[in-house]
Amino acid sequence: MSVCVRRVYDPPEPRDEVRVLVDRLWPRGLAKDAARVDEWPKALTPSTELRRWFHAGEGSYEEFAERYEAELAAGEAAEALEGLRELTRRGGVTLLTASKTPERSHASVLARLLGA
């Protein structure tokens, strides 16, 4: 089982197995066939409120990660996270995000929760 985080704008690589877009919105200027996305579980994305709070600079990345993990612990998000865990049990998963700094994004939080 391997999980990696990459920018969705980077070209697909042979080591990518299942490519999972973890952003709520489709990345600007990117054709769907060029992205080669296999899964797009929107329920895994941070809530609009949390995303706006974080991008407004109102809190630290650590606080964002805590709040995001709390969102992932309930309801549809928890079900989607379990589905992603199942994918990782079957093989490698590449988490894709449009974030300019994937290492400080929700995708990195997901990767950590998946044991990457």
Task: Report pLDDT digits (tens) over 3-23.
Answer: 999 999 999 888 888 999 999
pLDDT at 116 over 80: no
Q: Give residue 26's pLDDT.
A: 95
Tell whether the torsion through CA atoms of 7, 8, 12 and 14 is positive or negative: positive
Cα gap 25→51, rounded to integer Å? 12
Give me the helix-helix angle, 106-113 and 61-72, nearest 10°: 60
pLDDT at 100 over 90: yes
Cα gap 56→50, rounded to integer Å? 10
Residue 12 in tokens: 């697909």
pLDDT at 1 over 80: no
Q: Which uninterrupted H or E stretch holds 22? A: none
Domain boundaries defined on the chain:
3-113
Q: Give residue 95's pLDDT.
A: 97
Q: Give residue 36's pLDDT.
A: 92
First-to-last alpha carbon distance for the chain, in angstroms, is: 9
Cα gap 74→55, rounded to integer Å? 23
Q: Per-residue pLDDT tens for 43-87?
A: 999 999 999 999 898 889 999 999 999 999 999 999 999 999 999
